[in-house]
A and B are shown apart, each in its own frame.
Chain A
Amino acid sequence: MGYAVQMKGITKSFPGVLANDGIDFAVEENEIHCLLGENGCGKSTLMNVLFGIHKQEAGEILIKDKKSTITNTKEAHDAGIGMVHQHFMLVNPMTALDNIMLGKEPIGLFLDRQVARREISAMIEKYGFQIDLDASVSELAVGIKQRMEIVKILYRGADIIIMDEPTAVLTPQEVQELFKILTGLKADGKTIIFITHKLEETMAISDRVTVLRGGKKVKTVVTAQSSEKELARYMVGYDVNFDLERPPVECGDILLEVRNVQLLPNARHSVSFEIRKGEILGIAGVDGNGQQELEEMIMGVRKAPKGGSIIVNGSDITGTTTKFRKAYGMGHIPSDRYKSAMVKDFSVRENYMLGFQDHADLNTYGFIKHKVLAAFSQAQIKKYNVVVSSDESSIGTLSGGNQQKVIISRELGHDPDVVIVAQPTRGLDIGAIEFVHSTLIDLRRQGKAVLLISVELTEIMTLSDRIAVLCGGEIMDSFENSRDVTREQLGLLMAGKAVGGSYGEE
């Protein structure tokens, strides 16, 4: 059997980073090949080089044994390569049909949707996808959108399909459906490159796997002859300890109470829960099911609709401002680090002031106490081992893990009672993830009340004392003891299928 793609000695650097260092990568025809590695290991760069988005500095690319001359997406399509991006490339106000045919519309002076519809319907039927071609994209569920993306590239005649972290937005059940689709495509003769950082998926779907680390290729192995543990070692470079000590802590008084808060306008039930001193409540769920609303309503960043209330330390803070809540002992580690937690053009030191600019420690009569601020920022940098040359350099120049350390140490630096933590390890490497996790366990020991919102089931299951599952803006169910629940149960709940009694209130 021949090779679909051969990349030989690919080297590509960006200012200050050697993203790909002489990588050899070969994909056989009609196989599912996983490209495995942590964030920042060079997976995306390698695929962008294949796609012609970046030009390699050294090395050559063969596609079906022919030298590749791709420089843009259209040429990639012509060469039979298509990519399903992690963030869907769909135009919201347009219909599914328009989205699929976009860029490859039937020839003619005027738009002829009938011709395109016939061809696309046939394709949808052949693979057994269920897509309503007349629905506008914004109404479609995530899983359907992903199928649309696959149809899009099949419509363009792709036989090499690149899937970029396709499971990040799916429930475990949807992941199973996706795998079925991929197996079907393979049976139809397609070649699939599957980019991921998740070991279980790699084991479940791939024929072979290539592991990258720090811009270098570590190894290509036949999946069936390898193990999760071995792949993890290749990926990280050392033996990973998956278990985290979670020593028992005596739970105290209720510190945070959320009562009847309507998260999404069309949710049938509002949300209620409480968190005690020394407790981590994990909120599981697929992204976009009200997590951001929950996080922002608790912090007062987003206005909660009338009716619900948020109680901290026994006082109702429902109508108060974000500024008041932060001063009242609520720490916040936002889900979108770049957008909501930092100002990337500002210095690290100035970022240490963000959110506390009116705090009495840092402010006299409206003037900033620069010396106090500098002392605070330097102390936190030291305490949390933030790697930075000077606290006056801009935070945008730091790695994701160090940025997150700045944000965590800022929020914890004012000794909050309640900490709202959302997607704290998104985009971090394993070292930084370990740091974040041990910090959260430490908060629990110190007697803080922690709300942990995460789409990573493993994270939720290892850290939380109690777990609640969010779907469609409602709590599907909750578990008083996180050890009582299985992945499968959580997965069903995340997909909106109730398995037990309802926890949400009218």
Chain B
Amino acid sequence: MEKNKTFGSIGAKLGDLGSSLFSIALALAMGAVIILFMGLNPLTAYAELWRGAFQNPTAIANTLSRATPLLLCGLSVAVARRAGLFNIGAEGQLHAGAIATILFMLAFPSLPRILLLPVGILIGMFAGAAWALIPGILKAKRGIHEVVVCIMCNYLIILFCAYLVNGPFLEPGSHVGQTTLIAEAGRLSNLFVPRSQLNTGFLIAIGVAVVVYIFLFKTSLGFKFRTVGSNPEAARAGGIIPEKISIGAMAFAGSIAALAGITEVLGKYYRFIDGFSPSFGFTGIAVAFLARSNPFGIILSALLFGTLDSGSLRMARVTGVSSDLIIVIQALVIFFVAIPNITKFFKLPKNVILARFDK
């Protein structure tokens, strides 16, 4: 059983942080070994990755913008995780949210911004929540493992979106599956750096992280989520109905994941493009697990993964190391974080470390 640590002892927290950092280092090191096997220099590759992510304000802004959907998906996975559910359906939920928002905005293009934007976003969040209810309800009422249901739901909604934007809502004359552009009033505005992809979606994501933190640790409903996640039987004896919490947690998680899709389409593309998400939802799992479902930790781990994503293009262009390597590194991070006490397998005897420093 996976341990769901709370904000208990400081020692436990430091231990988690330590093994998270260790997991990242180990994954990067294994990535470096792969690069070495290609006959290339891993340090150069990682340096280009770093440069690609941070070389100028535009790059930094793009890195932050890349981190935005990962942050939201990570929060979605974390909320579910805290309630004892494994939401690997974030990918589908963000599609549901994005398509619902875009279709609403296309249907009511003349609404004023003050109405169009918030209502559009809410409708998208509602769609994401509704889509997440399928695994939530099946888990609660039928005891079907949410993971299998989520996977099926992902395929279904992604294909359905593809059908919509290639069929009835295809932009006239377009050769790729996409809708027409939405009205200016529905777009999220650019943030800090002009011409970058960074938009107010980033602030929304940070705000959601704060809300999730307060929810989980300061409210009684959050306490119920965590109790069900750690010990559903004790929750039931304590007057909490785990089935209700499961359904509610999936809906909450679904609405947060939906925001990831919504901020992408409203902030970057201003339309729904088939295949706009390079599996944000799955990367979100790595983001959440790396941070052990701690909302503030998720901000940091989303930034890390955003950096890997945004820097990998330059790394590929300059050094020839394919950006697919980043997926491998992300997978390795999940492995390492999922192994309890990973650090204990790699402890060097004290004198070995000392001997090295003596040289």
Contacts and interface: CB of A to CB of B under 8 A. Distances in A.
Is B a genuine binding partner of A? yes
Interface of A: 296, 299, 301, 321-326, 332, 334, 336, 339-347, 350, 353-358, 362-363, 366-368, 370, 392-394
Given A367-B218, A368-B218, A326 B9 contact: no
A347 B233 CA distance: 17
A370 B220 CA distance: 11
Interface string B262-299: 00000000000000000000000000000000000000
Interface stretch (B46-54, B152-160, B222-230): B222-230
Given A345-B4, A392-B8, A339 B233 contact: yes
A394 B239 contact: no
A332 B223 CA distance: 20
A389 B352 CA distance: 36
A363 B12 CA distance: 28
B237 A368 contact: no
Interface in B1-58: 3-6, 8-9, 12
B239 A345 contact: no
B231 interface: yes
22 contacts: A301-B237, A321-B239, A326-B238, A332-B237, A336-B233, A339-B234, A340-B233, A340-B234, A341-B234, A342-B231, A343-B230, A344-B231, A346-B226, A346-B230, A350-B6, A355-B238, A355-B239, A357-B223, A357-B238, A357-B239, A366-B220, A370-B218
Interface residues of B, number: 26
Nearest to A397: B9
Contacts of B227: 343, 346, 354, 357
B8 to A, nearest CB: 5
Contact of A362 (B6, B8, B220, B236): B220
A407 to B, nearest CB: 10
B240 interface: yes
B8 A345 contact: yes
B343 interface: no
B230 A334 contact: no
A340 B230 CA distance: 11
Interface in B223-257: 223-224, 226-227, 230-231, 233-241
B8 A347 contact: yes
B110 interface: no
Given A367-B218, A394-B9, A340 B223 contact: no
A338 B308 CA distance: 43
Interface string B200-225: 00000000000000000011110110
Nearest to B5: A345
Contacts of B5: 345
Contact of B224 (A296, A322, A357): A357
Given A341-B237, A357-B238, A347 B218 contact: no
Nearest to A327: B239
B229 to A, nearest CB: 9
A363 B234 CA distance: 20
Contacts of B231: 339, 342-344
Contacts of A341: 234, 237
Interface pairs A-B: 10 shortest CB-CB: A323-B239, A355-B238, A322-B239, A340-B237, A357-B220, A354-B238, A343-B231, A343-B230, A339-B233, A394-B8
A326 B219 contact: no
Contacts of B236: 301, 322, 340
Counting chain A CB atoms within 10 Å of each CB, the highest count among B3, B4, B220, B224 belongs to B220
A358 B220 CA distance: 7
B148 to A, nearest CB: 23
A354 B240 CA distance: 9
A26 B290 CA distance: 52
A367 B220 contact: yes
Given A324-B239, A344-B230, 8 more contacts: A301-B236, A322-B238, A339-B234, A343-B230, A345-B8, A362-B220, A366-B220, A392-B9
A278 B3 CA distance: 42
Given A301-B236, A343-B231, A357-B238, A368 B8 contact: no
Contact of B220 (A334, A336, A342, A363): A363
Contacts of A325: 239
B105 to A, nearest CB: 32
A323 B241 CA distance: 9
Given A392-B8, A393-B9, A345 B230 contact: yes
A296 B119 CA distance: 45
Nearest to A323: B239
A321 B5 CA distance: 29
Given A343-B230, A345-B4, A394-B9, A353 B237 contact: no
Contact of B6 (A345, A354, A367, A368): A345
A342 B231 CA distance: 8
A344 B236 CA distance: 15
Nearest to A364: B220
Nearest to A369: B220
Contacts of A299: 237
Contacts of B9: 392-394
A424 to B, nearest CB: 15
A325 to B, nearest CB: 8
Contacts of B223: 350, 353, 357, 368
A342 B234 contact: yes
Given A344-B231, A357-B223, A393 B8 contact: yes
Contact of B237 (A322, A344, A357, A358): A322
B3 A345 contact: yes
A244 B153 CA distance: 62
Contacts of A332: 237
A339 B237 CA distance: 9
A345 B5 CA distance: 6
A368 B225 CA distance: 14
Contacts of B239: 321-326, 355, 357-358
B230 A367 contact: no
Contacts of A362: 220
Contacts of B224: 357
A367 B8 CA distance: 19
A343 B227 CA distance: 7
